[in-house]
Amino acid sequence: MAIEVSEILKKVRRLQIVAARQVNDLLAGAYRSSFRGRGMEFDEVREYAPGDDVRTIDWNVTAKTGRPYVKRFTEERELTVIFAVDISGSGAFGTAQGSKLDRLAEVCALLLLSAQKNNDKIGLLLFAGGVKAYYPARKGRAAGRRLLREIVAAEPVHERTDLPGALQYLSRVVRRRAVVFVMSDFLDVGEWSRDLRLTALRHDVIAVPISDRHEATLPPVGFLRLRDPETGAIIELDTSHREVRSLFAARETKRKAALQETLRRSRVDELPLETGGEYATNLRRFFKSRERRRA
């Protein structure tokens, strides 16, 4: 059932209030400094001076003037930030403090406000079995409010996630280098590894895997009938057997390890989240870690 507009606006307002407090208390300076130096933009040409790097010589200007000139670059003052959010059916699952999609909306609100305070452009891509909506990067509070409304209003789509399609679409429509937060539960590991590597060559990609603790363990409650929210496949398990529970947990451990290895090989940073975890502190720790590596 579709969410009422009044409920959407109420939730957006609550997220904005909470996010504003967390940005001021936890993320002051961490967001910007973690991305400092990620790109350079051309500033001007000036005449060569002893000690200048010869690799910066502008040969076209040098040939025209007969004197050596060098290019000067400055750090990019403005970032383009894209949120690619998986709204497939598995995002509706959650056993603590809301669903996985609810938690992603909270994190998006915090990152959106951080980007606004930095005067960055922000855009949004919603995807499931295909791209469901794309909102090009824009500046300002109005853009942030609209994107947050779209995230909150998005309902889970019962389709198998097509992450390769989303990444390929992103590469086509976002030409300028951007910071891309890919937010998903990444349940299908490996099918999208090539597209992720290619996207990471062009953009600064950050994977945000969202999970719920009950996806990793089964309670001993007897027979369970489980339905895959994306494919509709149904399986039955007897959770009273310890071996069944152990195999279930081992499968999830293996999947997470494969995900981490894929991200490592693709040189993509990972920001893991849980439905019941403390995400604001995790964000601050993540940004500080990036800042130390770039120092």
Dig out the tokens for 83 from the structure. Answer: 């949120």
pLDDT at residue 206 is higher than 90 = yes
Question: What integer pLDDT is reported at residue 1 of this predicted model?
Answer: 45
Closest CA to 283 of 16, 88, 29: 29
- The structural domains of the chain, with segments of one domain joined by +, span 5-34+79-211+268-289, 40-75
Please spell the DSSP secondary structure of 52-72, one letter per residue.
--GGGB-HHHHHHHSS-EEEE
* 13-37 pLDDT per residue, tens: 777 777 777 777 666 567 777 775 4
CA angle 203, 208, 211 (to 5 degrees): 160
Q: Determine how many CB atoms are found less than 10 A away from the CB of residue 130.
A: 12
Q: Give buried/exposed letters for 132-143 (b at 16+ CB in 10 A, else e).
A: bebbebeeeeeb
Q: What is the pLDDT of residues 118-133, one digit of tens each?
A: 888 999 999 999 999 9
CATH of region 5-34+79-211+268-289: 3.40.50.410
Separation between Cα atoms, residue 200 and residue 227, nearest integer Å: 34
Question: What is the token pair recorded at 94?
Answer: 């959650």
In eight-state DSSP terms, residue 36 is T
CA distance 128 to 286: 27
pTM of the model: 0.80
Query: Are the beta carbons of 124 and 109 closer than 8 angstroms?
Result: no
